[in-house]
């Protein structure tokens, strides 16, 4: 049981390049989400999904795309990287029925992205 | 807008001492409040989860309190250890939403 796996752990992009941050979970969680973490700020929600084929925008969705073709995977795509997207990105998942309960919310170990 | 404010932003304590972190929120309607510990370079890990009816919950040397009337929570660390050095994040969930509201965190540094 690996939990939530994010790849890559580190990435440097040039402005204008595109890339996909991968997130996979093996816990059969319906709910998956992407956050970015910047110094001095709380984690901010980018996009989330409550099941395969269902996605929705969070607080800071501009410049990012997501899709959810399977329960296990929730990739985050940067279409044209900008320096403002330099951040640490976290993927997280939980059972949808436990979001308001006692079940823990499982985070991946993060991807540190630098856009130059 | 649902908000979560944490204080202090950072603190330094000596090993073996106690400390208390504060969390104030405006999230409504309230579902539950969670405290997470985030070590440097790692994802957050859950410490406690409390619902509306719970006032106190402990996890080892960590004790969280919740006052749903005043919308305040605290996390008390007892007999701190060097391994307690981390960022502690308060997270609140509204009962009518799937989104979590995160505080900016309190960075705790424990020195020998």
Distance in angstroms (rounded) separating the CA atoms of residues A40 and A6: 23
Mean pLDDT of B27-40: 92
Interface test with B, best of A4, A46, A50, A102 (most B CBs within 10 A): A102
Please tell me the predicted confidence (pLDDT) of residue B57. Answer: 94
What's the pLDDT at B18?
A: 98
> How many Cβ atoms from other residues are within 10 Å of residue A12's Cβ?
12
CA triple B9-B13-B87, angle to 5 deg = 40
**Higher-pLDDT residue of B74, B41:** B74
Instruction: With a cut of 90, say whether residue B11 has pLDDT above it.
Output: yes
**Interval B50-69 mean pLDDT:** 93
**Is B44 in contact with A90 (Cβ distance < 8 A)?**
yes
The better pLDDT of the pair B99, A26 is held by A26
And the tokens for B57? Answer: 């919950």
User: For B29-44, what is the mean pLDDT?
Assistant: 92
Q: Would you say A25 and A4 are in contact if contact means Cβ atoms under 8 Å apart?
A: yes
Supply the DSSP symbol for A79.
S
Across B9-35, average pLDDT: 95
Interface residue B89 vs chain A (CB under 8 A): yes
Work out the average pLDDT over A22-33: 94
B21 Cα distance to chain centroid: 7
Per-residue pLDDT tens over the stretch B85-100: 999 999 998 888 777 8
Q: Which residues of B touch A104 (CB under 8 A)?
A: 46, 49
Among B34, B35, B100, the residue to mutate for chain A (most A Cβ within 10 A): B100
Q: What is the mean pLDDT of residues A8-18?
A: 97
pLDDT at A101: 62
Q: Does pLDDT of B84 surpass 70?
A: yes
- Both structure tokens of A33: 């989400």
Strands of the B4-7 sheet, one edge to the other:
B4-7, B19-25, B72-77, B62-67, B56-59
Quote the CA–CA distance of A53 and A17 in Å, as a whole number. Answer: 26
Tell me whether residues B101 and A42 touch, CB distance under 8 A.
yes
Summarised one tens digit per residue, pLDDT across range A87-110 is 999 999 988 776 666 667 899 999
């Amino acid at each position: 049981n690996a939990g939530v796996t994010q790849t890559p752990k580190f990435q440097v992009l040039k402005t204008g390049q595109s890339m996909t941050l991968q997130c996979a979970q093996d816990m059969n969680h319906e709910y998956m989400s992407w956050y970015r973490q910047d110094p001095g700020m709380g984690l901010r929600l980018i996009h989330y999904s409550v099941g395969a084929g269902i996605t929705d925008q969070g607080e800071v969705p501009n410049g990012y795309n997501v899709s959810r073709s399977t329960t296990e995977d929730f990739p985050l795509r940067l279409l044209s990287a900008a320096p403002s997207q330099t951040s640490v990105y976290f993927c997280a998942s939980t059972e949808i029925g436990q979001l308001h309960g006692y079940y823990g919310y499982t985070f991946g170990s993060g991807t540190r992205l630098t856009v130059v | 807008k649902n908000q979560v404010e944490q204080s202090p932003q950072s603190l330094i304590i000596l090993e073996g001492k106690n400390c208390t972190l504060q969390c104030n929120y405006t999230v409504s309607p309230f579902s539950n409040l969670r405290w997470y510990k985030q070590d440097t370079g790692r994802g957050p890990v859950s410490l406690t989860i409390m619902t509306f009816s719970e006032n106190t919950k402990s996890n080892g040397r960590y004790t969280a309190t919740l006052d749903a009337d005043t919308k305040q929570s605290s996390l008390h660390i007892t007999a701190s250890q060097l391994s307690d050095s981390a960022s502690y994040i308060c997270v609140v969930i509204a009962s009518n939403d799937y989104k979590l509201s995160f505080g900016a965190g309190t960075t705790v540094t424990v020195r020998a």
